[in-house]
A and B are shown apart, each in its own frame.
Chain A
Amino acid sequence: MPSADNLNQHRQKTSAVEKIATIAILASAATALQIIESPLPRFLPWLKPGLANALTLYALLRFSTLAGVGVALIRTFIAGTVLGTLFSPVYLISLAGALTSALTMSIIKKLLPESGLSTISVSGALASNWAQLMAVQLMFAGGISVWFHLAVMIWVGIPSGLIVARLTAELLRRT
Chain B
Amino acid sequence: MVQDSEKVKKIFAGRLDVVFLLALGFISVVAWLLHQGEANTAPKTVSVRVFTEPEQFFRVSMPASRTLVVSGKLGPAEIQFSSAGEYRIASSTCPNHICVNYGWVKNGSLVCVPNGIVVVAEEKESRVDAVSR
Asked if A116 and B14 sit within 8 Å, CB to CB, the answer is yes
* Interface-located stretch among B23-31, B65-73, B82-90: B23-31
Contact size range, B:
20 to 34
Asked if B8 and A115 sit within 8 Å, CB to CB, the answer is yes
A169 interface contact, C-beta 8 A: yes
CB nearest to B28 among chain A residues: A154
Minimum CB–CB distance for B15 against chain A, Å: 9
For the complex, give the distance between the alpha carbons of A120 and B32 in Å. Answer: 24
For the complex, give the distance between the alpha carbons of A166 and B7 in Å. Answer: 15
Contact partner, B31, options A62, A118, A126, A154, Cβ 8 Å: A154
Q: List residues of chain B with CB within 8 A of the CB of A147.
A: 31-32, 34-35, 38
Q: List residues of chain A with CB within 8 A of the CB of B21.
A: 118-119, 122, 158
Give the 8 A-B CB pairs with smallest separation, nearest first.
Answer: A116-B13, A154-B28, A147-B35, A151-B31, A150-B31, A151-B32, A147-B34, A148-B35
State how many residues of chain A have any CB contact under 8 Å with chain B. 35
Minimum CB–CB distance for A95 against chain B, Å: 25
A112 interface contact, C-beta 8 A: yes
For the complex, give the distance between the alpha carbons of A137 and B8 in Å. Answer: 34
B9 interface contact, C-beta 8 A: yes
